[in-house]
């Protein structure tokens, strides 16, 4: 899919419009606005140094002279490779190769960047470092970034909008919050109280009913589970405070995006089997 | 219609040549393939001829051992250029497919024809200069130093450079079209040596072999060089230049058409990254 969007491969059906240009029929017109970064250690010349690699890929985009030199310098500084600029890539660690890939992907200053599993095979610390670079690209350099990943936490950390694809089809899309809202997955608040007077319980029930929020009493009426959001919960706190109810513990349970996505995919697959 | 400026074409050509250079010169062992093996091959043939009478060689312009030296030098000098291109096309295509850099290069809007000829030119400069120097030394030694030779040499190099680059561009394109085109490598190894008349005069071939020899631009290059350096050879230089021009023109047209086909196939099947 990434290769299709990056105008390397033609789609078998549908259309691809980038900035108003038909990127299937006129793919050469959009190529200078795009670039692609894949996970892993490929896509670089290992016997060449970082500078030689960037100089070559820059030349393919018609860059030369002081402009190319300055861009290489900036990208190497940004990815922390200045000191290793003249070391052959074969001597780089995995993380350094991946950082050079990012520099290569930015050599033409693309408006749109496609990242294909950019943290594939990296250890936790380097993967976190990579996620930092990617976030900075979107925030500081205003790049349009499309990232594919199997790590849901990565999507949760980096993406403003998520498409869930299964068997080549988009089965759900939306912001993190919107996706979490699907299938009734909402934030919940678990309050433990010393004791819950009947009149307080009745007032809570009425208030939560009015807000259309689920409330469940558990553990011999000493635990209150509230769905909803902070507005609803503020009202619950006010009621408990008015009745001088002692709160002994508070736990906020965020719905896990991974659980949500697994549920979405399972639901999609079972619907497919039913057909 | 896509417009590519001459400056961009030059940048792509220069980028490819520089990349080949940085990729190739990484150890002193490279001199074995640049000089030692070609020189061994040359002397193997030269000393294979020595025990036999060269009396009948006068028919082909070989009147003695000095003529034989010039005959073989001309053949090997031209063959080395063409064979270096075959090897390089095969090696680079394999390496670039394996490292994923071929697909990344095709992600850019760089002129494809310039990329193919750049790869060929890069290989030509890198892989032949040492053996060419050796052949020049041998030519001067056998032929004697003359002003005529000094004037003719740039012309010879120009013809060789243009012919081998166009030949290389075609081969690079063929290898681009199919990762299973390795049979071309094996096919040309002995066929080109024999049928282009590197070691044996084409005049001594049966008619069917003479007909096949016309397919290789190397045949015309060798004929032209021998005619220029061996006074007794009865070859029409202008006729061979004309035939070479037609042959090269045909190869350029074939390269353009195959390149379009190769990109269309890869956009359709996405096989550039397969190896």
Q: What is the ipTM of this complex?
A: 0.82
Task: Note the pLDDT of residue B1.
Answer: 43
Token code pair at residue B231: 């006074």
Element (H, E) at A251: strand A247-253
Scan for tokens 């020049």, then name that residue: B136
What is the C-alpha separation between A153 and A273, in angstroms, rounded?
Answer: 29
Show pLDDT as tens, one digit a residue, over chain A (275 residues).
788 888 888 888 888 888 888 888 888 888 889 999 887 788 899 999 999 999 999 999 999 999 999 999 999 998 889 999 999 999 998 888 988 998 999 899 999 989 888 887 777 877 888 888 888 888 888 888 898 888 888 888 888 898 888 888 888 888 887 887 765 556 788 889 988 888 999 998 898 888 888 888 887 788 898 887 777 888 889 999 999 989 999 988 776 777 778 877 887 888 877 77
Cβ separation A104–B104 shorter than 8 A: yes
Residues making up chain A, counted from first to last: 275
The secondary structure of chain B in percent helix, strand, coil, rounded to multiples of 5, reads: 80, 0, 20
pLDDT of B192 higher than 70: yes
Task: List the single residue in B26, B109, B269 with the smallest CB-CB distance to A31.
Answer: B109
What is the C-alpha separation between B199 and B76, in angstroms, rounded?
Answer: 8
Scanning every residue of chain B, which has its alpha carbon at the shortest distance from the alpha carbon of A58? B15
Token code pair at residue A212: 């259309």
- Spell out which residues of chain B touch residue A8, defining contact as CB-CB under 8 Å: 103, 106-107, 266-267, 270, 272
Cβ separation A43–B101 shorter than 8 A: yes
Integer angstrom CA distances of residue B240 from A9, A86, B89, B122, B217: 43, 48, 26, 26, 10
More confident residue, B138 or B55: B138
What confidence tens digit (pLDDT) does each residue in A98-148 have?
889 989 998 999 999 898 888 877 778 778 888 888 888 888 888 888 988
Phi, psi of A163 (to 5 degrees): -110, 130
Measure B23 CA to nearest chain A CA, in Å: 6
Measure A56 CA to nearest chain B CA, in Å: 5
Cβ separation B104–A6 shorter than 8 A: no
**How many Cβ atoms are within 10 Å of B1's Cβ, its own excluded?**
2
Task: List the single residue in A9, A38, A55 with the smallest CB-CB distance to B267.
Answer: A9
pLDDT of B253 higher than 60: yes
Topology of domain A2-159, CATH:
Rossmann fold (3.40.50)
Cβ separation B100–A43 shorter than 8 A: yes
pLDDT of B190 higher than 80: no
Q: What is the pTM of this model?
A: 0.79
Integer angstrom CA distances of residue A255 from A268, A269, B18, B119: 20, 22, 54, 54
Scan for tokens 């919107």, then name that residue: A178
What confidence tens digit (pLDDT) does each residue in B196-234 have?
888 888 878 888 988 888 888 999 998 888 888 776 666
Task: Note the pLDDT of residue A263.
Answer: 77
What is the C-alpha separation between A63 and B28, in angstroms, rounded?
Answer: 32
DSSP-derived secondary structure for A180-198: HHGGG---EEEEEES---H
CATH architecture of A186-253: 2-Layer Sandwich (3.30)
B80, B132 Cβ separation under 8 angstroms: yes
More confident residue, B171 or B186: B171
Residue whose C-alpha is closest to residue B93's, from B269, B209, B268, B266: B266
Task: Note the pLDDT of residue B191.
Answer: 82
Angle between helices B6-24 and B112-143 (to 10 degrees): 60
Where in chain A are the domains?
2-159, 186-253
What confidence tens digit (pLDDT) does each residue in B131-150 have?
777 777 777 777 777 787 78
What is the C-alpha separation between B193 and A122, in angstroms, rounded?
Answer: 50
Task: Note the pLDDT of residue A228.
Answer: 76
pLDDT of B17 higher than 80: yes
The secondary structure of chain A in percent helix, strand, coil, rounded to multiples of 5, reads: 45, 20, 35
- Exposure string of A107-135, with b = 16+ CB inside 10 Å and e = fewer, is bbebebbbbbbbbbebeeebbebbbebbe
Integer angstrom CA distances of residue B198 from B4, B45, B79, B80: 39, 10, 7, 10
CB proximity list for B250: less than 8 A, separation 6 or greater = none
Cβ separation B107–A55 shorter than 8 A: no
């Amino acid at each position: 899919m990434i290769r299709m969007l990056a105008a390397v491969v033609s789609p078998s059906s549908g259309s691809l419009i980038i900035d108003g240009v038909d990127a299937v029929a006129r793919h050469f017109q959009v190529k200078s606005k795009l670039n692609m970064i894949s996970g892993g250690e490929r896509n670089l010349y290992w016997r060449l140094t970082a500078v030689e690699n960037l100089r070559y890929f820059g030349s393919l985009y018609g860059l030369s002279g002081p402009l190319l030199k300055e861009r290489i310098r900036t990208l190497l500084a940004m990815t922390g490779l200045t000191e290793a600029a003249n070391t052959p890539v074969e001597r780089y660690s995995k993380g350094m190769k991946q950082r050079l890939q990012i520099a290569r992907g930015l050599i033409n200053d693309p408006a749109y960047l496609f990242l294909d599993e950019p943290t594939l095979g990296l250890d936790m610390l380097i993967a976190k470092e990579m996620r930092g670079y990617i976030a900075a690209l979107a925030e500081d350099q205003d790049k349009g970034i499309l990232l594919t990943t199997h790590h849901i936490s990565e999507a949760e950390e980096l993406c403003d909008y998520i498409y869930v694809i299964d068997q080549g089809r988009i089965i759900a899309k939306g912001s993190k919050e919107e996706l979490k809202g699907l299938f009734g997955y909402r934030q919940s608040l678990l309050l433990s109280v010393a004791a819950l007077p009947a009149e307080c319980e009745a007032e809570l029930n009425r208030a939560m009913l009015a807000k259309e929020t689920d409330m469940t009493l558990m553990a011999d009426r000493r635990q209150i589970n509230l769905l909803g959001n902070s507005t609803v919960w503020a009202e619950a706190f006010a009621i408990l405070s008015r009745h001088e109810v002692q709160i002994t513990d508070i736990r906020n349970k965020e719905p896990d995006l991974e659980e949500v996505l697994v549920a979405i995919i399972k639901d999609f697959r079972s619907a497919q089997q039913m057909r | 219609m896509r417009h590519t400026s001459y400056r961009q074409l030059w940048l792509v050509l220069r980028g490819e040549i520089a990349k080949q250079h940085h990729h190739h010169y990484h150890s002193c062992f490279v001199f074995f393939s640049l000089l030692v093996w070609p020189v061994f091959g040359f002397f193997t043939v030269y000393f294979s001829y020595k025990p036999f009478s060269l009396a009948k060689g006068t028919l082909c312009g070989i009147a003695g051992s000095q003529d034989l030296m010039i005959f073989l030098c001309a053949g090997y000098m031209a063959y080395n250029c063409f064979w270096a291109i075959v090897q390089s096309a095969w090696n680079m295509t394999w390496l670039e497919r394996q490292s994923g850099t071929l697909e990344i290069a095709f992600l850019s809007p760089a002129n494809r024809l310039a990329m193919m000829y750049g790869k060929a030119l890069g290989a030509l400069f890198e892989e032949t200069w040492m053996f060419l120097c050796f052949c020049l030394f041998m030519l001067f030694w056998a032929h004697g130093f003359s002003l005529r030779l000094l004037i003719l040499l740039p012309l010879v190099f120009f013809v060789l450079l243009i012919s081998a680059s166009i030949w290389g561009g075609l081969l690079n394109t063929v290898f681009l079209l199919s990762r299973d085109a390795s049979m071309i490598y094996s096919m040309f190894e002995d066929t080109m040596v024999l049928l282009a008349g590197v070691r044996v005069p084409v005049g001594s071939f049966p008619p069917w072999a003479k007909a096949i020899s016309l397919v290789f631009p190397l045949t015309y290059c060798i004929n032209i060089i021998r005619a220029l350096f061996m006074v007794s050879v009865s070859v029409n230089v202008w006729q061979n230049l004309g035939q070479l021009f037609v042959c090269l023109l045909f190869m350029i047209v074939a390269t353009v058409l195959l390149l379009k086909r190769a990109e269309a196939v890869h956009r359709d099947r996405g096989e550039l990254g397969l190896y």
